């Protein structure tokens, strides 16, 4: 056998190994993230756990909140950016589930405006409206929350008045 066919065989073998690796790569990525619960800030996700769970513990409640529901369901709510974990235990205190919760930014069309060091966030779907996002400047954050609270109070009062009539 000459040198050329050996090189060709080696190249084909390398190419075959590379192709197999690329085919198996998505499966490996899924296996690594199977224990991760991804949720967005200010959104909730339902997760099914085994039925015999009696308690759940969240590593950092500033990042995520977890509420138990009947039938082995938990509601995971993203509260702050970052990662934490949730541990689910049975009545005997045995750890049944230990999963990572990854809280990410909003997925809708967010426009971020910087005025010097002050940040403002807007949801643009299709018209841009103020939104409250962690990291916005204090004045903008408070003003937006106050406006939303005032609007909510007016809607609640109007609803109560309509029920009274």
List, for residues 84-101, the tens digit of each pLDDT value.
999 999 999 999 999 999
Highest mean pLDDT, choosing among 22-31, 89-98, 105-114: 89-98
CATH 2.60.40.1080 intervals, the chain: 36-104
Checking if the pLDDT of 24 tops 90, the result is no
Checking if the pLDDT of 29 tops 50, the result is no
Q: Which fold does the domain 36-104 belong to in CATH?
A: Immunoglobulin-like (2.60.40)
Q: pLDDT tens digits, residue range 31-40? A: 345 689 999 9
Which residues face 111 on adjacent strands? 122
pLDDT of residue 18: 55
- CA end-to-end span of the chain: 98
Q: Tokens 């085994």 sit at which residue? A: 50
17 pLDDT band (50/70/90 cuts)?
low
Q: Where are the alpha helices (DSSP H) in the chain?
A: 3-33, 138-164
């Amino acid at each position: 056998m000459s040198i050329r066919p050996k090189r060709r065989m080696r190249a084909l073998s390398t190419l075959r190994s590379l192709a197999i690796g690329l085919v198996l790569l998505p499966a490996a990525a899924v296996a690594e993230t199977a224990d991760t619960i991804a949720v967005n800030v200010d959104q909730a996700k339902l997760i099914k756990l085994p039925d015999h769970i009696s308690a759940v513990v969240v590593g950092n409640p500033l990042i995520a909140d977890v509420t138990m529901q009947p039938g082995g369901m938990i509601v995971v709510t993203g509260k702050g950016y970052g990662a934490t974990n949730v541990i689910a235990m049975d009545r005997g205190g045995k750890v049944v589930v230990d999963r990572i919760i990854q809280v990410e930014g909003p997925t809708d069309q967010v426009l971020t405006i910087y005025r010097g060091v002050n940040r403002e966030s807007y949801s643009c779907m299709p018209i841009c409206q103020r939104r409250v996002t962690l990291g916005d400047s204090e004045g903008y954050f408070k003003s937006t929350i106050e406006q939303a609270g005032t609007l909510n109070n007016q809607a609640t009062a109007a609803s109560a008045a309509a029920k009274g009539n």
